């Protein structure tokens, strides 16, 4: 097989994760225009884009009320679970749905599936993606878990520093997550440092 190409993963940019939502990430809405620009650049280079969404049932052990951590959020079919209205999701984007199982938290997009029911990792393999660029919400939960799983899958991972924001339940959680990701082998990029080529990508940060 030819050397793989890059893909973009936009993690959980949903109404409940931005200010005004049920589980707001401070400044979560600020990632939207930046991610729109990343999406345009990937599409212009002919590279695939993936959008994960948190998609919970009303009862799940993910929620505080049923033994978990969080207030109810991103409940299937509600407005809070919809992508942010200004997020540009191209028609050929692949939506990755996770968190639908009431028995698991599913922080990672790699616990999610395509609309056809295919696990995310398999879809990436079929698409020839070997380098995943990751942005979205939240740095210290779903971005962290997705990037760590991507590394475990043997993918090259670049975290998009200008397109992530964290919850910071404990102050410093997001910074610690980024340090952990670098330690695990991820690199980082911003719009200014991004260098994409058709069928391949590298960054210079």
Q: Which active-site residues does the annotation give? A: 12, 98, 142
> Is residue 12 at the binding interface for Zn ion, with CB under 5 A as the rule?
no
Report in angstroms how near the CB of residue 91 gets to ligand VGL at its nearest: 24
Cβ closer to ligand VGL: 42 or 141? Answer: 141
Cβ closer to ligand VGL: 54 or 201? Answer: 54
> Is residue 88 at the binding interface for Zn ion, with CB under 5 A as the rule?
no
Among 16, 29, 54, 149, binds Zn ion (CB under 5 A): 54
Region label for 46, one of left (φ > 0), alpha (ψ between -120 and 50) or beta (otherwise): left
Contacts of 124 (CB under 8 A, 6+ apart): 7, 50, 132, 153, 155
Instruction: Give me the residues paired with residue 129 across strands.
Output: 5
Among 7, 10, 12, 130, binds ligand VGL (CB under 6 A): 12
Closest CA to 13 of 53, 63, 62, 56: 53
Cβ 13 vs Cβ 31: under 8 Å: yes
Q: Select the binding partner of residue 142 from Zn ion, ligand VGL, none (C-beta < 5 to 8 A, by kind).
A: ligand VGL
> Is residue 140 at the binding interface for Zn ion, with CB under 5 A as the rule?
no
Cβ 113 vs Cβ 101: under 8 Å: no
Site string for ligand VGL, 55-74 (x = CB under 6 A): ---------------x----
């Amino acid at each position: 097989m030819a050397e793989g190409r890059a893909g973009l993963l936009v993690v959980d940019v949903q109404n409940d994760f931005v200010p005004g939502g049920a589980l707001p990430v401070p400044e979560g809405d600020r990632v939207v225009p930046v991610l729109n620009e990343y999406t345009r650049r990937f599409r212009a280079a002919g590279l695939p884009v993936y959008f994960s969404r948190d998609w919970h049932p009303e009862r799940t052990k993910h929620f505080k009320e049923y033994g978990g951590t969080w207030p109810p959020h991103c409940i299937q079919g509600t407005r809070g679970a919809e992508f942010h209205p200004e997020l540009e999701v191209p028609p050929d984007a692949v939506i990755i749905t996770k968190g639908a199982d009431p028995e698991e938290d599913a922080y990672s997009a790699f616990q999610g599936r395509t609309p056809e029911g295919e696990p995310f990792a398999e879809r990436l393999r079929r698409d020839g993606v070997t380098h995943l660029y990751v942005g979205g919400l939240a740095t210290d939960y779903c971005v962290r878990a997705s990037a760590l799983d991507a590394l475990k899958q043997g993918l090259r991972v670049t975290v998009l520093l200008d397109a992530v924001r964290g919850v910071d339940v404990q102050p410093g959680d997001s910074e610690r997550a980024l340090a952990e990701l670098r330690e695990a082998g991820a690199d980082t990029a911003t719009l200014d440092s991004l260098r994409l080529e058709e069928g391949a990508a590298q960054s210079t940060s």
